[in-house]
Amino acid sequence: MTTPKLNETVQVSVVLPAYNEVNYLTPAVEKTIQTLNQFVDSYEIIIAEDGSTDGTAQRAQQLAQQYPCVVHIHREKRLGRGTALNNAFRQSHGQVLVYMDLDLATDLKHLKPLVEAISVEGYDFATGSRMLEESKAERTFSRGFSSKTYNWLVRRMLGSKLRDHQCGFKAFRREALLGLLGEVEATHWFWDTEVMVRGYRHGLRIKEFAVEWHSGKDTKVNLAKDAWNMFRQTVGLWWKFKTEKKP
């Protein structure tokens, strides 16, 4: 693996959004490095740390000092997962931009096909899916039902063809994503859905593929509160699309 110099373009940038993830951070970074070393010549791993209070910021800084390929972006105040991703992607140097949830709920054996969907197959966006027939996803009934209902609603209201909008395992062609970020208003969980839906509206090529996924034990999703917020934002985006001209 070639360690990139400051401002030097690399093949892949992997963003790990982090909020109070001190127990997950080190194994996630080390496993990601091991996996990337198997198929990528140059890369960077960006820890987008969003106002953590449990020692995650200090651990992230230690990892950045230990590994030249690791970059730590710190926010003193929590601004939301979507805001952290936007900020990290704009500061990245990769031609393929990736983000993964820090608990590595999606098996890292899928990282190579995720990246190659962009770099080899020529897609603009790629995303893992827990909802395809070939997918293997372990989750509670309540979370599974809520997710299926939500994704059905997004397809009906926003015109998306995806089965799973919220899987935290996505890759983007650099120019395609950065060209869209100025339109994306979501600052937290809804970021995934808005990015993918706007990608479809712009005619981008999007690949969805089955993954093996295990629910994290310490999920930060509040099912009742976050489900309501996601529904509200879905309706808001539907209304915005209804009242504006399609790009």
The residues that are catalytic are 192
Separation of alpha carbons 11 and 188, rounded Å:
27
Backbone angles phi, psi at 165, to 5 degrees: -90, -25
Residue 36's nearest CA partner among 61, 69, 71, 84 is 69
239 Cβ partners below 8 Å, 6+ apart? none
Strand ordering across the sheet containing 10-18: 70-75, 43-50, 10-18, 94-100, 169-173, 125-129, 206-210
Cα separations in angstroms, 184 against 5, 29, 119, 205: 30, 28, 24, 18
